[in-house]
Chains A and B, each alone.
Chain A
């Protein structure tokens, strides 16, 4: 892969240093590099001509940005009403038990990060979890171990939502 800093520079240039494009640029950088590291935030601040504190404020405001190296698979589990009344708590317990981690923690092998989040927007498939960008709806706690093992072994490709 190209030097990450060139990648970041390229993306900032493509957005014309226009501050209304900052968030779009941050998404692009995160999609290519995985997360927004401290030096990247500095580059963004310089590129968009704003204070670094402001860039940091934006990066920490939106829950989709990661400021630390992230696990290969982020499991997001909906904690909203609809999933909750359809058995969301059981799902979370099953995930915690299977991965032996607590909320917001990463497994030791760096494979899974578990994050309870607000609504995933998949209420018609409640209860739902989301691994990276794939939604798995209508989950049951019995299916959790199988699913996580399959993802760990084969990745997410070929999985249907």
Chain B
């Protein structure tokens, strides 16, 4: 074991889901170390020095976030675990939560200690009922053992934890929308600034962190920032846990140090399915742009992928083979954003609907029968000038929307337009589907 895939190695330890098993695997060593011999400022310095960045998609340096929290005047502070994972192709957080609940909880405690927070809220998506029950159990066990409560490990550190049901809505993955939903409101994003570290949950400073980010914290404190910096790229040290799905032989969760070529990830997942060839991937799920096969040497890292015009986001790698029609894929993506748009701001609410309409019109069944049998259905939508319309529409949505959902709604679609112009042209001009997916 090289220790380079430390998160998945940790999940593979037998019995690590139980409190005893977690202790045997070296669990709570970091918490003990922090409480016995380090001050909160030292823990913060260690996190900053490690260069850890948020794994939820923004890649914001975690050290800066924790420092900002510590600067806040309000003594009532919160740590919120964002387990509201729900984009297409994203399931790695669920795997981490299920595999080692105590690791995440230790991460929350450490983050709380560093930031001076006394309350932790774990938000787990509605669909994952088993995970939520297990978490509730885990919190109960920790309370019994004095790992959560008023005097943790006898060092006078007080922290309470509660587990809540997430809304199960994609837009609540955005941190301010998540907080709105946790406060019992509709999950509309807030205007930032102020950022949650200044004014978050019920107006108090709040550290909202992705599950994978929190999972890294105990390792950093236990093994030291220098060990962490030794993994992956200097600019974005550590590993990335990727959920690989789609047209791939073994869909699942994989972990690689940052900077690993994407090609290697696809090899780990078994490569293309028999008789197929991988044409493109979406390295960051629905919010990223397509990466064509010729660019598979791109490194797994935020900056590296940005150079190729896409992003890593939360690491939901969706693989597309030569069997799929990208017009249909684009249409499904647009439909997803339309469904998940929270409806607060007009560009996103209306724009995503129009986007889906345009794409459905060229890949749905009605275009083929235009004028024949389904006459009224055809009349609903004016004859599109799709090429002319799509680009400005995407531009408008991305510029005018209030949060990241709208801003990223068109990224994949524009990149598909750029990469597969022939396929789109065939649909738009000749009403043909070259892959015979939309129509035979």
The answer to whether A20 touches B88, judged by C-beta atoms less than 8 angstroms apart, is no
Q: Closest residue to B316 on the A side, CB-wise?
A: A123
- A81-B89, A85-B324, A121-B91 known; A61 and B165 CB under 8 Å? no
Q: Which residues of B contact A20 (CB under 8 A)?
A: 182-184, 202
Option from B91, B128, B332 in Cβ contact (under 8 Å) with A81: B332
CA–CA, A19 to B201, complex, Å?
13
From 171 to 203 in chain B, residues with beta carbon under 8 angstroms from any chain A beta carbon are 181-187, 202
Asked if A40 CB lies within 8 Å of chain B CBs, one says no
Please provide the chain A residues from 109 to 143 with a CB less than 8 Å away from any CB of chain B in the complex.
117-126, 130, 133
C-alpha spacing A120/B245, complex, angstroms: 13
Interchain CB contact (< 8 A) of B187 among A62, A117, A125: A62
Per the bound structure, the CA–CA distance linking A64 and B339 in Å amounts to 13
B102 within 8 A of A: no
Alpha-carbon distance between A25 and B327 when the two chains are bound, in angstroms = 42
Q: Which residue of B lies closest to A50 (CB)?
A: B184
Least CB distance, A27 to chain B, in whole angstroms: 5
From the candidates A22, A27, A119, name the one contacting B126 in the complex (CB within 8 A). Answer: A27
Question: At the interface, yes or no: B87 with Cβ under 8 Å from chain A?
Answer: yes
* Most chain B CB neighbours (cut-off 10 Å) among A58, A61, A63, A121: A121
Across the interface, which residues of A come within 8 angstroms of B333, CB to CB?
Answer: 81
B307-331 interface with A by 8 A CB criterion: 316, 318, 320, 323-324, 328-329
**Complex formed: what's the CA distance from A121 to B128 in Å?**
9
Interface 1/0 per residue, B243-256 and A, CB below 8 Å: 11111000111000
Q: How large is the interface on A (under 10, 10 to 19, 20 to 34, 35 or more residues)?
A: 20 to 34
Pick the residue among A86, A122, A130, A133 that contacts B246 (CB under 8 A). A86
A106 to B184, CA, bound (A): 30
B46 in contact (CB, < 8 A): no
- Check A82/B318 contact, CB under 8 A, given A119-B336, A121-B90, A121-B128: yes
If A80-B332, A81-B286, A85-B329 touch, whether A121 touches B125 (CB-CB below 8 Å) is yes
Residues of B within 8 A of A58 (CB): 184-186
Complexed CA–CA distance, A130 and B165 (Å)? 19
Q: Closest residue of chain A to B246, judged by CB?
A: A82
Which residue of the partner chain, among B88, B129, B185, B320, contacts A123 with CB atoms under 8 Å?
Answer: B88
A97 within 8 A of B: no
Chain B positions within 8 Å of A, measured between CB atoms, are 85-91, 94, 125-129, 164-165, 167-170, 181-187, 202, 243-247, 251-253, 282, 286, 316, 318, 320, 323-324, 328-329, 332-333, 335-336, 339-340, 342
Closest 8 CB pairs of A and B: A22-B184, A123-B245, A80-B88, A124-B251, A61-B186, A85-B324, A20-B183, A119-B88
